Chain A
C-alpha cells in the first residue's frame, strides 16, 4: 500500500477535533498508514476509538497499523450541493479486511477516482490520505 497524499475533492471539510483518544486515527496518514485501536489482550479491534476494549473491557489498547485494504460495504453518491456546486461525490462504508461479518471493522470515507456510476458494493478498495490542516483524512480508491 502506497499511502501518498493527493489533492482533496472538497473545497472545505468539517474536521474532527483531534484529541488524545483519536490522534493516531486522524494523523497516522502522515506516515502513509492507517491506524485503528486494538486490544493488546484479546486482539479485538475498536472503532471509533474509546480506550476500552468492547470485548474484554481491557484498557490495554493501542493504535495498530492495518493493511488499509477492504471492500465497500455500502455507498451513496451525493448530489445535494451542501458545499456549493462541486459535483457528485461518493461516500463509502469500507469494511477493512481485518474485521469479520459479525464484527465488521468499518470506517466511513470517500471513494475517489472511480466514476460514481461504477461504484458497487463489494468493490475492493485501498486507503490513501488527504491532508486538511492537522489531520490526514483516510480516502479510498478502487483496487483495479
Chain B
C-alpha cells in the first residue's frame, strides 16, 4: 500500500469555496431546470464578488445526459449552461462516474490547483418534483408503463420490482438491523433530528414538527424504510464558486477552505454485490480523507451527511468513524449527539429528508452557511470551524472536510 493516500500532496488546500448560491427551492415549481440553474449560478458569482467574465471553469454533476432513467434527475449539462451564459472557459467537466455528487466540486478544486482555471462555477440542478410531480415519485425504467428494456447493471435489479433506491437501500438497512440489532427507532432519530432542524430553515419543505411516534406510524415504502426514511423530491439548483486560495483575501464573505477530500472506492461499486452490505462504500473514501489531514473527528463541529435515505446517513456516521461500524444504535440513542447543541450537529438545514432532495449539493451549501455563521435560527453555536460533508453512499461515495477560512 505504500505510495498511496498518505504520501500524496494535499493540493486541495490550494482551493477555496469563494461563493455559494441557491435558487428558489420547492415542489412542483413549474420552472425550467435552466431557469433554476441560472438563478443559482448568478447568486454564487455575486456572492463571490465576481462577474461571469471572471468565471473560467464550469463543472457539474451528473451532466446533461442523465434524465432518461429518472425524469428531472439531471439538470442542464455544461454545454447548455456555457451557451446560455455565454461563458468563455479554460476548463469544463460534467459527469456522474466518480466519487458521488461532490465529485463536481472536487474536480473543480483540481482544476484550480493545477492552474487550468482560476474561478470554477459548479452547479447541481434537480427538478424531479416538476418532472415526476403529477404521478408522485416514480420507479426507474418506467416501472408502471412497461417502457424500454434495460441494459447495464440495473437489468439485474429492475426486473424484480426493485425499481427504486428505496428498495435497494432497504436491503442494506435490513442487513444492519440483522447484524447489529439496529431498529427503526435508530433510523427515526435521524429523521426526527432533520425535521427539527428543518423547522428552523425557512426554505425547508417539511417544517411541521415530527415526533418519534409520528415517524413510526408512517406508511411503509420498502421494509424497514418508511416514508420519512426517504428524501423529498424538489426543484432547485445549488451553485458554488471554487477559486484558488490566492483569491481568499478578496472574498466578500468568509472563504471556505477545502481541507481534505476523500475519493477512494474499494470493492464492488454495486447496489447488491458488496459482500458486507452493512457497511457503506464511504468507508474507503473516509479513511482516505482522514489520512490527508491532521484534523480529527473531534475537530468536526458539524456533519452534513447524505440523507437520500436515513440508512445512508447512519452508515456514513459509522464509515466516517464517529462511532464504530455497528454502533450507530447506541450513538444515535435519544438523538442528543446529533442535535443542534450536541457534539455532532447533523444536517442542520433539515437535510434531504425534510429540506428537500438537492442531491448532495444542499449539504455542502449548508456546511458553508454554518462555517460562514449565516445559519440564522439554526446556526451552530460557538462559531464552527470544521464541517464534514459526505455524498453518495449506495454503490459509490465521496467526502470532504471544509473549514472556516483557508485550510
List chain A positions with a Cβ less than 8 A from chain B. Answer: 10, 12-17, 19, 22, 47-48, 73-80, 82-84, 89, 91, 93, 101-104, 106-110, 116, 121, 132, 135, 137
Contacts and interface: CB of A to CB of B under 8 A. Distances in A.
A106 B157 CA distance: 12
A54 to B, nearest CB: 9
B138 A82 contact: yes
B174 A15 contact: no
Contact of B153 (A48, A75, A116): A48
A109 to B, nearest CB: 6
A93 B143 CA distance: 20
B272 A93 contact: yes
B164 A82 contact: yes
B295 interface: no
B222 A74 contact: no
A83 B150 contact: no
Contacts of B144: 12, 82-84
B275 A103 contact: yes
B143 A91 contact: no
B151 A17 contact: yes
A83 B273 CA distance: 25
Given A80-B221, A121-B175, A91 B156 contact: no
Contact of B163 (A14, A110, A121, A132): A14
B161 A110 contact: yes
Contacts, number: 125
A10 B171 contact: no
Contacts of A83: 139, 143-144, 161
A116 B174 CA distance: 14
Contact of B160 (A12, A102, A110): A110
A16 B150 CA distance: 5
Interface in B142-169: 142-147, 149-151, 153, 155-164, 166-167
A73 B222 contact: no
Contact of A16 (B151, B172, B223): B151
B170 interface: yes
Given A15-B150, A17-B149, A17-B155, A104 B275 contact: yes
A14 B222 contact: no
Contacts of B272: 93, 106, 108
Contacts of B167: 76, 78, 91
A17 B137 CA distance: 25
Residue among A13, A22, A82 having the largest count of chain B Cβ atoms under 10 Å: A82
B174 A121 contact: yes
A91 B168 CA distance: 9
Contacts of A137: 159-160
Contacts of A48: 153, 156
B277 interface: yes
A102 B174 contact: no
A110 B166 CA distance: 16
B178 interface: yes
B114 to A, nearest CB: 33
6 nearest interchain CB pairs? A76-B170, A16-B155, A82-B139, A14-B158, A74-B171, A14-B141
14 contacts: A10-B161, A13-B160, A14-B149, A15-B150, A17-B149, A17-B151, A74-B277, A79-B223, A82-B144, A82-B164, A109-B160, A121-B174, A121-B178, A135-B159
A99 to B, nearest CB: 9
B86 interface: no
A78 B230 CA distance: 14
A107 B149 CA distance: 19
Contacts of A103: 275
A84 B141 CA distance: 15
Residue among A48, A110, A135 having the largest count of chain B Cβ atoms under 10 Å: A48
Given A14-B150, A22-B155, A77 B222 contact: yes
B310 to A, nearest CB: 14
Contacts of A74: 171-172, 174-175, 178, 277
B220 interface: yes
A102 B149 contact: no
A82 B140 CA distance: 9
A74 B177 CA distance: 10
A79 B161 contact: no
A108 B156 contact: yes
Contacts of A107: 156
Given A12-B144, A76-B171, A102-B275, A108 B149 contact: no
B259 to A, nearest CB: 35
Nearest to A132: B159
Contacts of B139: 14, 82-83
A28 B139 CA distance: 28
A107 B157 CA distance: 9
B149 A15 contact: yes
B151 A14 contact: no
Nearest to A91: B162
Given A19-B151, A79-B222, A82-B138, A14 B143 contact: yes
A79 B220 contact: yes
B159 A79 contact: no
